[in-house]
Chains A and B, each alone.
Chain A
Amino acid sequence: MNSQDLQNLQLIQIASERIRNVERPLSVSSVSPFINNSTILSSCGVLCLNPTQESINQEGNTQREKAMDVNMLQRTYSDLLTSLFREGILNQQFTELQQLQDENNPGFVYEVVSLFFEDAGRLINELISNFNQQAVDYKKIDAYVHQLKGSSASIGAEKIRSVCQTFREYYDKNDIQGCYNCIQPLNQEFVTFKSKLEALFTLEQQIVAAGGSIPMMRH
């Protein structure tokens, strides 16, 4: 191999590297500034590509892969949402919220649920903090739980609403121990709700980023 051949091989390696780093194959014309030996060009299959046909084939494969990705994401989303209803974490009110979302309010569900995360998180922290004080203000605690019950009912957070209901029943019977025993389950239900809804919203973002639409489901 003479020095010219060696130089051509080096150029082929550079051009091949550039081809691997782009989505579509380079056309012969784009690599020919590097290699002006037509024999090497024609013998290098990776360089001598019919840009039209190969581009179309590769484009078709890419689109099929993307469609499969979107389908998989949508199935995962539907499965997760179905499980949230089946486990009683969400109820029909959540579906009502989804139906309120449209082109005028594209991020409505995300917005109200994010507000709930903030409000409920604050209320639960206040509850825990109040219960840990020497002089517990049960009236204040009841007010917090009442607010949490209302907001969880508004967005369809069924398990959280249910624990709040149980708390208020204990409160009405002056059963302080019963009230206290509700706090830890309430916090746990909130943590579970938050993590599952965050996973749901992440899937939504991935579906939209992949060019798909969010599946609407009836429950």
Chain B
Amino acid sequence: MASSQVVKVLIVDDDNFTRRIYKTMLFRFCFEITEVEDGKNAIQQFVDGNEYDLVLMDKHMPNMDGVEATRTLRGMGIPVKIVAITDDASSKDTFMDAGANKFLLKPLTFSMLTDILKSFNFLN
């Protein structure tokens, strides 16, 4: 886990109110949330020395898509939990091969998110 006790989440999605919905869900757990609009900015977060416990990664984004961002993070040796969340069901294998931990189809519901957080032991 990231150095502090608070779970730190990075939301990576180019749609601003998808990010708003995810933030509202995650605020219920008092998590610390950062949001970026594409894979390139997601990578930059880690390059800048930020630490996260969880990344919610969209697939189709400008500049760098989610699969490439996932592959790049794993190539950098970043062990963060990555959950791919996309409406592109055909991208599951690609995402998992790139190093994602979980794959979910949009739209994300609160119960889906809770199940994921429990599976990673983020709800203690």
A contact set with B: CB distance below 8 Å: 93, 96-97, 99-100, 104-105, 108, 111-112, 115-116, 119, 146-147, 149-151, 153-156
Cβ-defined contact, A115 with B24, below 8 A: no
- List the A side residues contacting B17 at CB < 8 Å: 112, 115-116, 119, 151, 154-155
Q: How far is the CB of A119 from chain B (nearest CB, A)?
A: 7
B102 at the interface (CB under 8 A from A): no
- List the B side residues contacting A111 at CB < 8 Å: 20
- List the A side residues contacting B18 at CB < 8 Å: 150-151, 154
Cβ-defined contact, A150 with B15, below 8 A: yes
Interface size on B, residues (CB 8 A): 17
B25 at the interface (CB under 8 A from A): yes
Cβ-defined contact, B21 with A100, below 8 A: yes
CA distance A146 to B13 in the complex (A): 13
Q: Mark B41-59, 1 if CB is under 8 A from A, else 0.
A: 0000000000000000000
Cβ-defined contact, B20 with A115, below 8 A: yes
Cβ-defined contact, B14 with A147, below 8 A: yes
Cβ-defined contact, A149 with B87, below 8 A: yes
Cβ-defined contact, B110 with A119, below 8 A: no
Cβ-defined contact, B87 with A150, below 8 A: yes
- Most chain B C-beta atoms within 10 Å of own C-beta, residue among A104, A111, A154: A154
7 A-B interface contacts by CB (under 8 A): A93-B109, A108-B24, A111-B20, A112-B20, A115-B20, A155-B17, A156-B107
Known: A119-B17, A147-B15, A154-B18. 14 other contacts (CB 8 A): A93-B107, A93-B109, A96-B109, A97-B21, A100-B110, A105-B27, A115-B17, A150-B87, A153-B87, A153-B107, A154-B106, A154-B107, A155-B21, A156-B107
CA distance A151 to B107 in the complex (A): 9
- List the B side residues contacting A93 at CB < 8 Å: 107, 109
B3 at the interface (CB under 8 A from A): no
- List the B side residues contacting A155 at CB < 8 Å: 17, 21
- List the B side residues contacting A97 at CB < 8 Å: 21
Q: How far is the CB of B29 from chain A (nearest CB, A)?
A: 12
Q: How far is the CB of A124 from chain B (nearest CB, A)?
A: 15
CA distance A112 to B14 in the complex (A): 15
Q: How far is the CB of B67 from chain A (nearest CB, A)?
A: 16
CA distance A149 to B60 in the complex (A): 12
CA distance A155 to B21 in the complex (A): 9
- List the A side residues contacting B15 at CB < 8 Å: 119, 147, 150-151, 154
CA distance A137 to B87 in the complex (A): 23
When the two chains form the complex, which single residue of B16, B24, B106 contacts A153, counting CB atoms closer than 8 Å?
B106
- List the A side residues contacting B20 at CB < 8 Å: 111-112, 115
- Most chain B C-beta atoms within 10 Å of own C-beta, residue among A100, A116, A147, A156: A100
In chain B, positions 10-41 with a C-beta closer than 8 Å to chain A are: 14-18, 20-21, 24-25, 27-28
CA distance A89 to B26 in the complex (A): 27
- List the B side residues contacting A147 at CB < 8 Å: 14-15
- List the A side residues contacting B27 at CB < 8 Å: 104-105
- List the B side residues contacting A153 at CB < 8 Å: 87, 106-107
CA distance A99 to B14 in the complex (A): 24
CA distance A216 to B109 in the complex (A): 18
